[in-house]
Amino acid sequence: MGKGGQDYGRKENPIPDASDRETYKAWAKEVRECEEHFKVKVKSGLSTEEFENRRKIHGFNELEKHEGQSIWSLILDQFNDTLVRILLGAAIISFVLAWYDGDEGGEMEITAFVEPLVIFLILIVNAIVGVWQESNAEKALEALKEIQSEQASVIRDGVKVLSIPAKDLVPGDVVELKVGDKVPADMRVVELISSTLRLEQGSLTGESEAVNKTNKPVAADSDIQGKRCMVFAGTTVVNGNCICLVTQTGMGTEIGKVHMQIHEASQSEDDTPLKKKLNEFGEKLTMIIGLICILVWLINVKYFLTWEIVDGWPRNFKFSFEKCTYYFEIAVALAVAAIPEGLPAVITTCLALGTRKMAQKNALVRKLPSVETLGCTTVICSDKTGTLTTNQMAVSKLVAIGPNVDTLRAFKVEGTTYSPADGKIDNWPTGKLDANLQTLAKIAAICNDAGVSQSEHKFVAHGMPTEAALKVLVEKMGLPSDARSATKNTLLRCCDWWNEQDRRIATLEFDRDRKSMGVIANSGLGKNSLLVKGAVENVLERSSKIQLRDGSIVKLDNNARNLVLQALHEMSTSALRCLGFAYKDEIPKFEDYDGSDDHPAHQLLLNPSNYSSIESDLIFVGLVGLRDPPRGEVYNAIEDCRAAGIRVMVITGDNKNTAEAICREIGVFSPNEDISSKSLTGKDFMELRDKKAHLKQDGGLLFSRAEPKHKQEIVRLLKEEGEVVAMTGDGVNDAPALKLADIGIAMGIAGTEVAKEASDMVLADDNFSTIVAAVGEGRSIYNNMKAFIRYMISSNIGEVASIFLTAALGIPEGLIPVQLLWVNLVTDGPPATALGFNPPDKDIMKKPPRRSDDSLIDLWILFRYMVIGIYVGLATVGVFIIWYTHGSFLGIDLSGDGHTLVTYNQLANWGQCSSWTNFTASPFTAGARVLSFDADPCDYFQTGKVKAMTLSLSVLVAIEMFNSLNALSEDGSLLTMPPWVNPWLLLAMSVSFGLHFLILYVPFLAQVFGIVPLSFNEWLLVLVVALPVILIDEILKFVGRCTSGSQARRSKQKSE
């Protein structure tokens, strides 16, 4: 539509926004009143001068271009996260301290700068991903502009201008529409040039078939579907041509309102349930880190601030800035240890793997967080047309005449698509069509302007969907037994054969008065016949005879007429659209008509008012019932939703009776259920006093004749009640609600680009059951994410406990920040990611959805991981102390490297080493190096701690690998869920141990991380200290199972 959106708002005399001014109700006014209101004559249109004046007032006929967030604003938003802010603060402080210590050079300089730079790198990558995702958010608005018309045929200054840019239309312009045109603005139909006018407006209103339009006014309070004298921007003319008067342009049109609703919905997007929980966790973590840092500071204040008590008052304060900085670094190390830095990367990886799994099930995820959101869906608000149904008209029942006038034959027709091979006709006399069925097939094939073609893997209708369905019916009916000449291998082979037998030479177009269409066909034997199809009551009223099964013709008496009307009533109450078929061989004025203009009878065909008299004294043949059929797999999918505790609400723009019949058939309502309180029109719902009470009803709900604003309101109210809402849709009218819902799901085949761009997920097969499969996958992914989040958090608790014990006991620092960062990011990453491959529970779709306030970590789980964390702290600090104070441990000799043993008291007071007399430290081997301390024996507790630090780090890594086995199941023992149920986890553990060996045995990396290679005995010590973590958690799981089992029994007894 060009760049007009940039000019919007630069008008000389801007009018109020469409939503702020009262709309002129042109649909309720006569044409003359509309001309007076818009100060225009339909015959002459606007003058050029008047057009220029109105353009200054109303601006261009195009949609606003909303200014999106600036790139800097988007970048800053990525840091509006508690965990990220803590991490950013820790990185800045680490960088400042590294800069301060930079003058010392050497190893510590390299080590100190690695930590802040890696954290900054994580934050930058996280911000890039976030900005990329959010910059795609407004594409739905751009897609909406694509469906607008670019050209229009307009009358100006009394002259028809065949093509002007549609953006130049203003209210009051007179526009001509013809078949195939896309409507350029909202317009009032003022004159029908053809006898009938039909528009396809389903993408805007949700109606399942093309709509007949008129120039007669309708009620002022009509809903959008009821405005039969209005045509709307973006819809398409499928039949007829007319003259229209522009009433609304740009943002004032119905599509403009949708544009505004999409924009508003995009402004109110909420965080996903998981992000909310992680933010809550981050806030609690901030408090915990703050308290622990203060506690560590208070415990160690004696080391950098001393004083003497003189006369009862503290005097002679001594402050050591160097030691103050050292303990500040410990506090920073605590922050690094407490934050699971690898969590964002692992979550993104798990979600990305989830999208691949869902893609295999035909669910294409456009936004990663949607994978997790699906898992906690509590309500699915589904559109009917195209989602629960095929959006393809199909004949479902055929009623033919029996052997006598008092009997009818009914055939059930299977199939839900335009594929001739989709389904068959029950009890069909294949190859033995009687005369009555042959006549019915002939009329359906010849009195028909539609076509069907195959496009890739789907079948597409051309023309009216009902007529395309009739052609598919003819193919299923087959040919008469004597039709041997039909050898063409075409898609519509039978229809082609009938059209070869009887050549169509004239058409009596459908009109809204007689409600039928007729054709004059020549059999090739010089005989013409009239074939008619249309509304059953009208065709029956103009019929005087009826054809029996054997082809004989008898009088159509009242009994036969009532029998047909009874069949019609039964089919209509089942929400079938019915068409009747009739013919006559005797058409006196057209006996020798050959279609030429100079034939006397040709003049009769030029005047549609003659059609009713031509189509009189007909011979009635039978009738068919058509519908937009439900998808075959939807019924079971609805049952699965019910078992999973997910409510299904159907929100459609279609007719109430049709929607109710479909809902009963697919299981939203039971066949005999009283649905008077559960089925409302969108207008009725908006008039309810207590809308939330209506939405809280158990079971399914139906909202028919729903407009975009109704859908949005329903989604908004459900979200206010704490529901996690998935909304499905395919049309433009669905886009605002898709944007507002927790997860918007668009149709990939039948869906408009607007709907797809507004959605979080696209169904490649347009199938409702795919949503249910995706929900199951989402639940499995969430459970696995919960497993690795708990695993990573429990690991971090252990690291915090380790640093806290180190500070509390006063021993040298056993783990430095860069080592903790390596463990959190690299070593923990593979096992955490592998936990995302845990097999799903077999009964995952038999459980109710988790509550939105369901916490990631309950009190019992927190207690369990506190116990595990304390053990990690004791183990990492304990092995550090063991190396310094023991020559052997549990029979494992540790004296092989020749290091000096000290007492625990010496180790805890290592800061006073310089005041010790006769303290010496022997040289010892650390890998290929020999460390000696002749110059400064006290350096044994600084440079000399490298072996003890390596043991602490190795114990931490080993414990966390074994702890990942504990995370396979929340409560299940490793005896019932052994490690090989998830072979990816065993592979990930191997990778993590491999990475640890890499930094141990590659000299450069060992220098960066401040560690040295270990001997065989030292590795034995690591395993002995690490393995008990499995036994401890097995005991805790057993206690948990016993406790939960007794609680379940007690609750069962109470319920009984």
In the set 81, 173, 186, 383, the catalytic residue is 383
In 167-190, which positions are buried (b, 16+ CB within 10 angstroms) versus exposed (e)? bbbbbbbbbbbeeebbbbbbbbbb
Query: Comparing C-alpha atoms, which of 35, 22, 50 is closest to residue 245?
Result: 35
Query: Comparing C-alpha atoms, which of 637, 143, 575 is closest to residue 387?
Result: 637
Q: Write the DSSP symbol of residue 221.
A: T
Q: Across 266-419, where does the E strand assignment appear?
A: 305-310, 313-319, 363-365, 379-382, 394-401, 408-412
> Strand, coil or helix: what is 769?
helix
Active site residue 858: no
> Strand, coil or helix: what is 686?
helix
What tokens does 777 get? 């996958």
- For residue 907, give the H/E element and its range: helix 904-908
Judge contact between 638 and 667, C-beta under 8 A: yes
What tokens does 68 get? 């999106």
What tokens does 700 get? 């399914």
CA pair distance 202, 207, nearest whole angstrom: 4
CA pair distance 987, 1026, nearest whole angstrom: 19
* The residue to which tokens 């109020």 are assigned: 16
**Backbone dihedral angles phi then psi of residue 504, each to the nearest 5 degrees:** -75, 130
Judge contact between 398 and 444, C-beta under 8 A: no
Distances (CA, A) of 477 to 399, 440, 481, 634, 649: 13, 10, 12, 27, 37
Judge contact between 171 and 50, C-beta under 8 A: no
Q: Across 672-778, where does the E strand assignment appear?
A: 679-681, 701-704, 725-729, 743-747, 761-763
CA pair distance 979, 962, nearest whole angstrom: 10
> Strand, coil or helix: what is 728?
strand
CA pair distance 942, 458, nearest whole angstrom: 73
Q: Both ends of the chain: CA-CA distance in Å?
A: 68
CA pair distance 390, 412, nearest whole angstrom: 18
CA pair distance 799, 806, nearest whole angstrom: 11
Q: Which amino acid is at 610?
A: N
Judge contact between 779 and 844, C-beta under 8 A: yes
The total of other beta-carbon atoms located within 10 Å of residue 18's CB is 16
CA pair distance 678, 625, nearest whole angstrom: 27
- For residue 650, give the H/E element and its range: strand 647-651
Q: Kindly list the catalytic residues.
A: 383
